[in-house]
């Protein structure tokens, strides 16, 4: 309420001077000359206030349809322009968020990703990385015609891989029933061009993580898988290939050395990595072609020795 526009309400009814001031705490008018307190509060007790008071049995003078004072504004959604630089920036940001559809979409996506991560009990570092991947994808124009909940899932999936946290596609999909495997892979293809997305991903660690936490293979088997993957990474093999696909091929290659009771099945591996059998087996064939060299890797050689000893016992 402007002092100039409504000057007469600030006139003291007792001394008739314009010395009335507002008590921000009570909303009452008090004369700072004679001390009289006006019976009528400055705050407009509209039907919203009256209904609230009746319903809750309290008198809350800030329960009005507008921000009656600075304190009420701080507790509401209004932005008070005081002329300071900070308030101007805050106002501009609010206008930008309201007017910029891209920012609105990003804000909604941040909430969706946080909720998915919370549902999966993965922690804040995963949420932060997933949100970073999403923003990069949005900035690079890679989200056109994509199902947004599928984008959220792929971002969380890659964030887990980046943070060296073993996870498979099925883990993500079971938390969002509306996403199909096809939706997931469509988004993956769109994100392939994201800068540094694959560079930060170690297929050796992904493979070892899957072997340990999802396939429950023995520790010496996981060590062999990790060592084999490290050799290929050191030689820049499979550069640009999907890390999860290579991880599946590594596990299947090592699986061939294992005796019944130690090994897993092709179906189990494909379920964990969520990739097509044809693609995974294509890379496995390449790795199998190097068997004479790879079996001399110390951890792989140790695995072969353990299997021979086990076979003799049988």
Reported confidence tier of residue 165, pLDDT bands at 50, 70, 90: confident
Reported confidence tier of residue 19, pLDDT bands at 50, 70, 90: confident
- Give residue 252's pLDDT: 95
pLDDT at 57 over 60: no
pLDDT at 263 over 80: yes
Reported confidence tier of residue 140, pLDDT bands at 50, 70, 90: confident
Structure tokens at 267: 């179906």
Report DSSP state, residue 213.
Answer: I
Structure tokens at 180: 């199909």
Higher local confidence (pLDDT), 150 or 170: 150
Say how far apart CA 65 and CA 48 lie, in whole Å: 7
Q: Is 225 exposed, middle or buried (0-12, 13-18, 19+ CB in 10 A)?
A: buried
Q: Residue 3: how many CB atoms within 10 A of its CB?
A: 11
Q: Calculate what percentage of the chain has a pLDDT beyond 70.
A: 71
Report DSSP state, residue 29.
Answer: E
Q: Calculate what percentage of the chain has a pLDDT beyond 90.
A: 21
Say how far apart CA 138 and CA 133 lie, in whole Å: 9
Domains of the chain and CATH, by start:
13-75 (no CATH), 101-191 (1.10.472.10), 203-313 (1.10.472)
SS3 20: strand
- Give residue 224's pLDDT: 93
Cβ 154 vs Cβ 198: under 8 Å: no
Reported confidence tier of residue 244, pLDDT bands at 50, 70, 90: confident
Q: What is the CA radius of gyration of the chain?
A: 32
Q: What number is the average pLDDT over the span 264-280?
A: 89
Contacts of 229 (CB under 8 A, 6+ apart): 202, 203, 204, 205, 207, 208, 246, 247, 250
37 bridge partner residues: 30
Report DSSP state, residue 302.
Answer: H
pLDDT at 63 over 50: no
């Amino acid at each position: 309420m402007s002092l100039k526009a409504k000057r007469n309400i600030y006139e003291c009814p007792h001394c008739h001077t314009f010395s009335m001031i507002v008590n921000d705490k009570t909303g009452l008018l008090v004369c700072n000359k004679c001390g009289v307190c006006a019976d009528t509060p400055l705050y407009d007790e509209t039907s919203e206030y009256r209904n609230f008071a009746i319903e809750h049995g309290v008198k809350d003078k800030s329960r009005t349809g507008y921000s009656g004072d600075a304190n009420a504004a701080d507790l509401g959604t209004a932005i008070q322009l005081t002329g300071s630089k900070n308030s101007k920036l805050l106002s501009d940001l609010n206008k930008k968020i309201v007017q910029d559809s891209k920012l609105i979409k990003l804000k909604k996506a941040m909430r969706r990703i946080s909720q998915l991560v919370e549902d999966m009990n993965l922690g804040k570092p995963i949420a932060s990385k997933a949100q970073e991947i999403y923003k990069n994808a949005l900035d690079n124009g890679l989200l056109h015609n994509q199902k947004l909940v599928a984008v959220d899932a792929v971002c969380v999936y890659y964030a887990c891989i980046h943070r060296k946290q073993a996870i498979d596609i099925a883990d993500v999909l079971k938390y969002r029933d509306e996403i199909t495997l096809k939706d997931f892979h469509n988004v993956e293809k769109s994100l392939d061009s994201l800068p540094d997305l694959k560079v930060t991903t170690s297929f050796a660690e992904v493979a070892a993580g899957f072997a340990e936490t999802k396939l429950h293979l023995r520790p010496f088997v996981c060590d062999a898988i990790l060592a084999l993957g490290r050799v290929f990474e050191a030689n820049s093999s499979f550069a640009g290939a999907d890390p999860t696909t290579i991880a599946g091929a590594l596990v299947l290659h090592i699986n061939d050395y294992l005796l019944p009771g130690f090994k897993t099945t092709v179906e189990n591996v494909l379920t964990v990595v969520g990739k097509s059998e044809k693609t995974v087996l294509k890379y496995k064939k390449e790795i199998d072609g190097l068997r004479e060299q790879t079996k001399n890797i110390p951890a792989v050689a140790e695995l072969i020795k353990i299997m021979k000893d086990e076979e003799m016992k049988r």
